[in-house]
Amino acid sequence: MNMKLTGKLLGAAAALALLAGAATADNWRAWNIHHDGHPNTAAMDRFAELVDSKTDGEITVEVFHGGVLGSQPDALEQVRLGAIEVGNFNLGPIGPMVKEANLVSLPFIFKSVPHMFRVLDGEAGAIMAKGMADAGVMPLAWVDAGARSFYSQKPINTPADVEGLKIRVMNNDLYTAMISAMGGNPSPMAFSEVQQALKTGVVDGAENNFPSFKNVGHYEVTTNYSLSEHLIIPECICVNTSKFEALSPELQAEVRAAAEEAALYQRELWAVQSEQARKDVEAAGVAVNEIADKAPFQNAMASVYDDYLAANPDMRALVELAQSTE
Ligand code: BDP
């Protein structure tokens, strides 16, 4: 066989091997609610690149940004069913389907973002992760979502300022209870509808962290952002449990490592970009109000905790575990 022919045959064999590889590649879809310019969008793109490189293309991830694959509750359901493989989910909307995940939706449960991560990295986090995985949404890594504060056309300095206001919340009974406990009218609504609702006065206010407040233009239709920091809710890079468990141990380790690296990248971006988002909204004319004493807000949440623990006595141990974490 001459050298030319050998070369050709080898080339053909390589092409076939590539084709075979491509045919067996697992192509995953990932859901992300955020748009360009949000730290999680960059982090999810990084996750896709890392999965591709770590698994040598055996798994590819296509990220769909801007919530185009559906609202968050819908996307969660789809990941549970395996119709979408991956998502960057907030634990708020996971609470109604995974009891343990609701821990993080209790207002003021965490003292700070670092405290929240210490709880997640400890026994409480392991219990939550197991509950989520059993429900079909397995967290591979936790990401930062800062603290959520109220915004509306007037400053909110005390719980009494919420009285009579219609406030948009995410889908979770704990948030409706939280607003009701201050005398406000809670309005659960999809994230994609909030800007219009604020603009047309369908709601008087909403609550979120600085990057989300900025990224989807809520700041353009709001004049006051008041630093209540009443909820510190983590997010995850989550995968359909069966899909993940069907992978070889080697691929599982590579996908997990990709998620962990992407999450560390997200936390770095978050630190810088949430500061920047605050500056940007202030420069655009939003008044950011410090709340010197948050105790009245915390005290107003007593009935939320009492009612929740009366209805869910099995959550008491997890709540106490979080509260006793240094
Ligand atoms: C953002 C979260 C996103 C939520 C959104 C909301 O990152 O997952 O859907 O808040 O308020 O901060 O719905």
Going by DSSP bridges, is the β-strand pair 26-31/59-64 parallel, antiparallel, or unpaired?
parallel
Identify the H or E element spanning 288: strand 287-289
| The predicted structure's pLDDT at residue 120 | 98
Digit-coded pLDDT (tens) for 237-249: 999 999 999 999 9
How far apart are the CA of 324 and the centre of ligand 1, in A?
A: 28
Kindly state if the Cβ of 149 falls inside 6 Å of ligand 1.
Answer: no
Determine whether the shortest distance from the Cβ of 90 to ligand 1 is under 6 A. Answer: yes
- Please give the distance, rounded to the nearest whole angstrom, from the Cα atom of residue 222 to the centre of ligand 1: 17
- Ligand 1 atom closest to 89 (CA): 8
- Ligand 1 centroid–CA 213 distance in Å is 9
Residue 88 near ligand 1, beta carbon < 6 Å: no
* CA 8 to ligand 1 center in whole angstroms: 54
Whether pTM exceeds 0.85: yes
CA-to-CA distance for 326 and 322, rounded, in angstroms? 9
pLDDT tens figures, 65-99: 999 999 999 999 999 999 999 999 999 999 999 99
Query: What is the tens place of the pLDDT at every residue in 198-219?
Result: 999 999 999 999 999 999 999 9
Cα 207 to averaged position of ligand 1 atoms, centre (Å): 10
266 within ligand 1 shell (Cβ under 6 A): no
Q: Which atom of ligand 1 is nearest to the CA of 207?
A: 11
Q: Look at residue 21 and tell me whether its pLDDT is greater than 50.
A: no
pLDDT tens column, 260-281: 999 999 999 999 999 999 999 9
Q: Which residue CA neighbors atom 6 of ligand 1 most closely?
A: 191
Cα 7 to middle of ligand 1, angstroms: 55
Domains of the chain and CATH, by start: 8-95+112-144+234-276 (3.40.190.170), 148-232+281-324 (3.40.190.170)
Q: 191: CA distance to ligand 1 center in Å?
A: 6
Instruction: Give how far Cα 181 sits from Cα of 146, 170, 256, 296, 301, Å.
Output: 23, 16, 40, 12, 7
- Measured CA to CA, the distance from residue 183 to residue 156 in angstroms comes to 13
Shortest-distance Cα residue to atom 1 of ligand 1: 212
The rounded mean pLDDT for the chain is: 94
